[in-house]
Amino acid sequence: DIQMTQSPSSLSASVGDRVTITCRASQSIRTYLNWYQQKPGKAPELLIFAASNLQSGGPSRFSGSGSETDFTLTISSLQPEDFATYYCQQSYSPPQSFGQGTKLEIK
Amino acid sequence: QVQLVESGGGVVQPGGSLRLSCAASGFTFSTYGMHWVRQTLNKGLQWVSFMRYDGSNTYYADSVKGRFTISRDNSKNTLYLQMNSLRIEDTAVYYCAKDQRWLQMEGLDAFDFWGQGTMVTVSS
């Protein structure tokens, strides 16, 4: 099975900051990497698919990059509604697997 | 708009059974693969099972294989998860989720819509 490792596990930042979250796969997954945002008490929501494609309706301040084993999610200018937990997921090989999450908190 | 509404969660003793349902609306259910994903505090998000859009193929996580059965009724736009021989470690919020792309054969896809989740607690 493919293991997904996110870093950091938690992050404190301020409104307006540029933030980067990293996800590493235990083997190459090409660009079969998706990012989700989850707010407390809610289901995850798809943010980025296929490593760099913004899901319809997603704010343009979110971007994704990477391939093979190393991926990043960047928020160019944090907004108050962005404080949430972010998960990466590989959809290259079954079983699909998720990272452990990165909790983004207000500094 | 797409809606997925889970039901059927509850409290059950170890070894017991539950059947979860996921009622779908707002899209052509019979053309999308569907998944169950669960979430715990300790283990985070874990994919559980997938059923192809036409019900012709299913996949399971090793941890539930032989105990859980996924099914769907395309005439009722509903996905099911029959959970037998439940264990304490099956305690989680269970979500149904939809494949992003239609007619996907293997379920290797992003999940573009999720239900609100239903809580399953396995406890004596």
What type of residue sits at position A43? Answer: A
For position A35, what pLDDT does the model report?
A: 98
Question: Is residue B105 pLDDT above 90, yes or no?
Answer: no
Mean pLDDT for all residues in chain B: 96
Question: Distance between CA atoms of A45 and B16, rounded to whole angstroms?
Answer: 31
Query: Is pLDDT of B33 > 90?
Result: yes
Asked if B45's CB is within 8 angstroms of A87's CB, the reply is yes
Contact state of A43 with B46 under an 8 Å Cβ cutoff:
no
Q: What's the whole-number mean pLDDT along residues A53-81? A: 97
Q: How near does any CA of chain A get to the CA of B10, in Å? A: 17
Q: What is the pLDDT of residue B106?
A: 83
User: Which residues pair with residue B10 across a beta bridge?
Assistant: B120
Give me the phi and psi of A3, to 5 degrees please. Answer: -100, 135
Exposure on the CB side of residue B68, measured as CA atoms within 13 A: 27
Higher pLDDT, A55 or A106: A55
Report CB contact under 8 Å: B59, A98.
no
Asked if the model's pLDDT at residue B35 lies above 90, the reply is yes
Give which of A5, A9, A46 to mutate to test B binding, by max B Cβ within 10 Å.
Answer: A46
**C-alpha distance from A97 to closest chain B C-alpha (Å):** 7
pLDDT at A55: 97
pLDDT for res B93: 98
List CB contacts (< 8 A) between A49 and chain B. 100, 110, 112
Residues of A in contact with B106 (CB under 8 A): 94
- Determine, for residues A46 and B112 on separate chains, whether the beta-carbon distance falls below 8 Å: yes
Tokens of B40: 């715990």
User: For residue B41, what pLDDT is reported?
Assistant: 84
User: Quick one: which of B67, B116, B72, B90 has its CA closest to B11?
Assistant: B90
Contact A95 B107 (CB under 8 A): no
For the cut 90, the answer to whether the pLDDT of residue B43 exceeds it is no
Q: Say which of A55, A93, A98 has its CB closest to residue B112.
A: A55
pLDDT tens digits, B61-92? 999 999 999 999 999 999 999 999 999 999 99
pLDDT tier at A34 (50, 70, 90 boundaries)? Answer: very high
What number is the average pLDDT over the span A10-15? 96
Amino acid (1-letter code) at residue B115: G
Q: What's the confidence (pLDDT) of residue B103?
A: 86
Q: Could you tell me which of A29, A56, A3, A79 has the C-alpha nearest to residue B113?
A: A56
Residue B5's pLDDT band (cuts 50, 70, 90): very high
**How do residues A85-107 score in pLDDT, each as one tens digit?**
999 999 999 999 999 999 999 88
Q: Which helix (H) or strand (E) holds A80?
A: none
Above 90 in pLDDT, residue B117? Answer: yes
Instruction: Reply yes or no on whether the pLDDT at B28 is more than 90.
Output: yes
Q: Tell me the residues of A at the B interface, defined by beta carbons under 8 Å apart.
A: 32, 34, 36, 42-46, 49-50, 55, 87, 89, 91-101
Burial class (CB in 10 A: 0-12, 13-18, 19+), B56: exposed
Higher per-residue pLDDT: B102 or B69? B69
